[in-house]
């Protein structure tokens, strides 16, 4: 008989840990939560201090029965769920179900699934931390009060199957506001003057900076440019100042949940959900031949960049042997501590720095390997020396006009030898060398080219951008980002277009209703303050009931008003403009779980449905009468054409945009690049910066 029972969340983890602990230990999996609030009712007694009513989750009865039987046979039960709020709550629910004393040393936490970490954690068991449990309970009850009060209203007034929530509704609001910004955006013209200059045979670029008295003149029109050009004399430029500086650049810290999701989206093109699924697999353990199952990374839900001394030491030794002493980090830079970071956690790192990606090729799937490589490189780079850049800034004068040339080169690559963080704007850092220029030197003009530009609207949110924005605003926590993005798409509030979020008609209707009747729910500051309050519960600074009560007293008033005043919104079936080929009744557009589709109006007598040709809100640029619709070729490739076809034969592989080219009033299209898209004109040379 096993003397000790250890309960973890997943079977994969159980298998690995049991092997590390030996024969005296039996490790079983709870398969996540075993108790929760009931799905069929609110399950929160608002009259009695918001007491939650927990029941065994449907289907978890046999799991719980098996755990109870094993617990009775064991001398001691250890609860080893994940090391966060959610994990603490799971441990508490298990303790309640298995009659384990929560004040006893029954809770074991570890940040990585390695033999050393597991054995060490079992030397330091602790009681269940009720502050952490209360923080999770408060979040769960808060979300239940919001969801189970607003959702039925939306079902009654709009459509069945809708839902609202603190984080999801705020995320939808951000997407809608961004779309409104784009629609309202008016491009403004501005100009630059670029020069190609020669010193001997060396070419280099410079751009208009200011007038000689350092008076900056904004170039808003061609006329402004001509005014500047009038003040230039001849082809000679004199070097009037040379500034040389050494610029140091620090590596990025190790990943936290949000930065991992963002970087995996930029560099690997992974959705947030996929990133978290792969990270979970790497954390729980991968079969490595004779070594057995090994956890390859630390826990992936964290908002701390802290790294243990052991891991730092190991990284140091690896860098020393592979790159040399000069690549070692001079001192352990003090990482900026997140105010709300749970410091029990570490940043996301490999469990062993020595385990480089090449050594794991044969054991990992392609995507597992790519994500592991990203985590491994980022962590190693964070422990390496700064990169050193030599920068040079040169002012050149012609007549009354100053041009400026800048150049830089890598003096010492440091961490950049291994890894450089991606950017949303896809700007690559390249060496930009200038010739050896000294004050008093004279260089010659090869070419002067004025260029017209237009300001650009803000970009739509990609998953990575939205996660970053939510994090910056203090909304949601590491564990909530991926499920939130998933929920708002499943509900049909937003859709992805070229990997960018656009709101749907349904999303806009629901947002308007919540904005009118429950403004706090989607108020960014309010939602962020609520997250802070929950963190205060976790720190033991405030009782969870007080937080809930403070919210609910106000919320209930809004609820009463909404019940009375919220008007029913009928989402009418739009006529599709064609008849059913089976019964000749008119076809209509309907809103389904996966967006709009076409169905016969004679339902249920006729059940004919078909995919719709999707309008994109753009008038045909050729005939000016029809609307551009999205179509699919025989090979399922999307293209765009006029809905009056064959009368109008307009066709485009690139998606036309509703705004006209600011330069020539021509048609703007979204051109797909390898990574991202670029807006450009079909009739002139106008191009906007690519968006990743």
User: Any idea which residues carry the catalytic annotation?
Assistant: 299
- Please compute, for residue 391, the number of CA atoms within 13 A of its CA located in the half-sphere on the CB side: 11
d(CA 95, CA 109): 15
**Distance separating alpha carbons of residues 196 and 208, to the nearest angstrom:** 11
Could you tell me the two tokens for 270? Answer: 């992974």
Q: How many CB atoms lie within 10 A of CB 255?
A: 26
Polymer length of the chain? 692
Cα–Cα distance between 392 and 241 in angstroms, integer?
10
Residue 350 pairs in a beta bridge with 297
Burial of 619 (0-12, 13-18, 19+ CB in 10 A): middle
d(CA 126, CA 616) in angstroms, rounded, equals: 58
Contact 485, 273 (CB under 8 A): yes
Phi, psi of 175 (to 5 degrees): -65, -40
d(CA 634, CA 98): 59
Eight-state DSSP code of residue 328: B
| 113 Cβ contact list (under 8 Å, min separation 6) | 13, 16, 17, 283, 284, 285, 294, 295, 351
Cα angle at 355 between 352 and 356, to 5 degrees?
130
| CB-based contacts of 515, cutoff 8 Å, min separation 6 | 173, 522
Q: How far is residue 519's CA from residue 539's CA, in Å, rounded to a whole number? A: 28
Rounded to a whole number of angstroms, the CA Rg of the chain reads 30
How far is Cα 298 from Cα 314, in angstroms, rounded to an integer? 15
Q: Are 196 and 451 in contact (CB under 8 A)?
A: no
């Amino acid at each position: 008989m096993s003397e000790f029972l250890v309960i973890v969340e997943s079977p994969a983890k159980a298998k690995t840990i049991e092997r590390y602990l030996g024969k005296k230990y039996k490790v079983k999996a709870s398969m996540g939560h075993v108790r929760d609030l009931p799905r069929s009712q609110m399950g929160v007694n608002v009259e009695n201090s918001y007491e939650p009513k927990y029941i065994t989750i449907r289907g978890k009865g046999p799991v719980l029965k098996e755990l109870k039987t094993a617990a009775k046979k064991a001398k001691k039960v250890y609860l080893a769920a994940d090391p966060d709020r959610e994990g603490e709550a799971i441990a508490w629910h298990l303790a309640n179900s298995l009659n384990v004393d929560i004040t006893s040393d029954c809770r074991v936490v570890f940040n990585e699934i390695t033999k050393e970490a597991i054995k060490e954690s079992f030397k330091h068991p602790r009681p269940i931390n009720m502050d952490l449990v209360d923080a999770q309970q408060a979040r769960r009850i808060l979300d239940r009060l919001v969801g189970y009060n607003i959702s039925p209203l939306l079902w009654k007034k709009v459509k069945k199957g809708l839902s609202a929530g603190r984080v999801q509704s705020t995320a939808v609001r951000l997407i809608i506001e961004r779309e409104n910004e784009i629609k309202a955006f008016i491009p403004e013209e501005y100009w630059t003057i670029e020069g190609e200059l020669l010193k001997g045979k060396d070419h280099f670029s410079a751009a208009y900076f200011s007038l000689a008295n350092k008076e900056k003149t904004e170039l808003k029109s061609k006329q402004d440019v001509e005014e500047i050009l009038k003040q230039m004399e001849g082809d000679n430029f004199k070097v009037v100042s040379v500034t040389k500086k050494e610029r140091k650049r620090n590596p990025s810290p190790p990943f936290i949940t949000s930065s991992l999701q963002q970087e995996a989206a930029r560099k690997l093109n992974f959705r947030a959900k996929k990133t978290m699924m792969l990270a979970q697999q790497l954390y729980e353990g991968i079969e490595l031949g004779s070594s057995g199952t090994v956890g390859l990374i630390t826990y992936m839900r964290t908002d701390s960049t802290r790294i243990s001394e052991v891991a730092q030491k190991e990284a140091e030794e690896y860098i020393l042997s592979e790159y040399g002493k000069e690549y070692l980090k001079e001192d352990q830079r003090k990482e900026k501590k997140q105010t709300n970071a749970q410091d029990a956690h570490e940043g996301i790192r490999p469990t062993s720095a020595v385990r480089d990606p090449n050594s794991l090729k044969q054991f990992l799937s392609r995507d597992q390997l790519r994500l592991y490589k990203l985590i491994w490189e980022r962590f190693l780079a964070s422990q390496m020396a700064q990169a050193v850049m030599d920068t040079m800034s040169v002012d050149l004068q012609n007549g009354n006009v100053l041009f400026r040339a800048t150049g830089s080169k890598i003096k010492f690559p440091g961490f950049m030898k291994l890894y450089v963080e991606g950017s949303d704007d896809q700007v690559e850092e390249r060496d930009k060398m200038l010739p050896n220029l000294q004050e008093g030197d004279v260089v010659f003009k090869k070419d002067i080219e004025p260029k017209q530009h237009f300001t650009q609207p803000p970009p739509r949110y990609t998953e990575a951008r939205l996660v970053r924005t939510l994090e910056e605003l203090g909304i949601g926590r590491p564990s909530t980002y991926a499920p939130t993005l998933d929920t708002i798409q499943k509900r049909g509030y937003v859709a992805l277009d070229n990997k960018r979020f656009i709101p749907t008609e349904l999303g806009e209707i629901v947002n308007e209703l919540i904005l009118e009747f429950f403004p706090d729910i989607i108020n960014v500051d309010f939602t962020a303050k609520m997250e802070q309050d929950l963190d205060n519960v976790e720190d033991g600074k405030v009782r969870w009931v007080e937080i809930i009560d403070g919210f609910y007293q106000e919320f209930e008033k809004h609820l009463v008003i909404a019940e009375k005043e919220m008007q029913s919104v009928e989402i009418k079936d739009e006529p599709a403009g064609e008849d059913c080929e089976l019964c000749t009744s008119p076809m209509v557009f309907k809103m389904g779980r996966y967006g709009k589709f076409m169905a016969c109006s004679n339902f249920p007598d006729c059940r004919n449905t078909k995919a719709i040709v999707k309008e994109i809100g753009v008038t045909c640029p050729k005939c000016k009468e029809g609307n551009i619709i999205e179509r699919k070729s025989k090979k399922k490739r999307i293209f765009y054409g006029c809905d009056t076809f064959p009368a109008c034969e307009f066709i485009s592989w690139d998606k036309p945009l509703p705004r006209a080219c600011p330069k020539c009033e021509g048609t703007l299209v979204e051109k797909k690049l390898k990574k991202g898209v670029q807006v450009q004109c079909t009739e002139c040379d106008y191009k906007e910066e690519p968006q990743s």
